[in-house]
Amino acid sequence: MKEFINNLKKFRFLFWELVKKDIKLKYRSSVLGVFWTLLEPLLTMIVLTLVFSELLGKGDDNFPVYILCGRLLYGFFSNGTKVALKSVRKHGTMIGKVYVPKYMYPLSAVVSNYIMFMISLIVLVGVMIFEKVKVTVYIFQAFVPMVLILIMTMGVGLMLSTFNVFFRDLEYLWTVGLMLIMYTCAIFYKVDKIKSASNLWIFKVNPLYSLIYMFRNSVFGRSIMAADGEIVGAGYHFWYALIFSVVVFLLGVLVFWRKQDKFILYV
């Protein structure tokens, strides 16, 4: 881990160049450019609100904000892990010619998407003002799930980028996996609407749901340590997400570090 950090410091200039490159390439052929970072989640929120408000959000005046909170966090995790997964193979030519710490590719891909995620929070602020959501001191606790989701996405991204070098079909499998994750994050429905208590374990074991739950709590004026109805008691989501994020990051670093010398044989 010490060598990992030292190399990151040594090549920090290249790291940020990779981040800027990823951002520029993402919107290179787009007329609206970075503006899509604001427009895409807003349009998605409008569509989901129109489709599900009567079915799943009836009587909730802040349902658009509820949807947008989940959509933004899931969107970052989804995009961040997908670009990280392809990052090593994408830079295969460079890996064969120039020495660069290989983990900079997946990490820079995640960070570039995180920057776009931070920009997209402007949309959330605007919608909160429009919906007249009362801001409380708990809004500062949103910092916790925002940091943890970055750590978790980096860890998952490192593992996916490693396995994708040796197993190319992982890209398609992960797309299916992300769909499953999306439907178990309660993005466009309320957990308390679920009648069967036997299905609530899905939200208890999904760390991304824990992060979304905490983020929503901070936005709607509740503590991130609050109990989640019939699912878990106070503090569970915080400790579960914290432990999971740190462990998956360390595991991702370990897996990547042990396999990186073999990348040149497969890319």
What is the model's pTM? Answer: 0.91
Residue spans per domain, the chain? 2-265
Contact 178, 116 (CB under 8 A): no
How far apart are alpha carbons 10 and 160 in whole angstroms?
25
The residue written with tokens 């489709």 in the block is 51
3-state secondary structure 201-235: HHHHHCHHHHHHHHHHHHHCCCCCCCCECCCECCC
Find all residues with CB under 8 Å of 224, minimum gap 6, and list them.
138, 141, 144, 145, 214, 217, 218, 237, 238
- pLDDT of the chain along its 267 residues, tens only? 666 677 677 778 888 888 988 887 777 766 566 676 777 787 888 887 777 766 655 556 788 899 999 999 999 999 999 999 999 988 877 777 777 788 899 999 999 999 999 999 999 999 999 888 999 999 999 999 999 999 999 999 999 999 999 988 899 999 999 999 999 998 888 887 776 667 788 889 999 999 999 999 999 999 999 998 878 888 999 999 999 999 999 999 999 989 988 888 776
Tell me, what's the pLDDT at 153? 97
Please report, for residues 124, 134, 256, the alpha-carbon distance to residue 129 in angstroms, rounded to integers and kept in the order given. 9, 9, 43
Phi-psi region of 60 (alpha: psi -120 to 50; beta: other; left: phi over 0): beta
Contact 71, 187 (CB under 8 A): yes
Tell me, what's the pLDDT at 196? 66
Tell me, what's the pLDDT at 73? 96
Residue spans of alpha helices (H) in the chain: 2-10, 12-26, 36-56, 63-90, 92-97, 104-130, 143-166, 170-183, 201-205, 207-219, 236-259
How far apart are alpha carbons 254 and 93 in whole angstroms?
24
Cβ of 248: how many Cβ atoms within 10 Å?
Answer: 19
Tell me, what's the pLDDT at 43? 80
Tell me, what's the pLDDT at 29? 66
Please report, for residues 2, 58, 195, 198, 226, the alpha-carbon distance to residue 230 in angstroms, rounded to integers and kept in the order given. 43, 21, 11, 11, 12
Tell me, what's the pLDDT at 117? 93
Backbone angles phi, psi at 21, to 5 degrees: -60, -45
Please report, for residues 70, 128, 196, 230, the alpha-carbon distance to residue 199 in angstroms, rounded to integers and kept in the order given. 20, 31, 6, 11
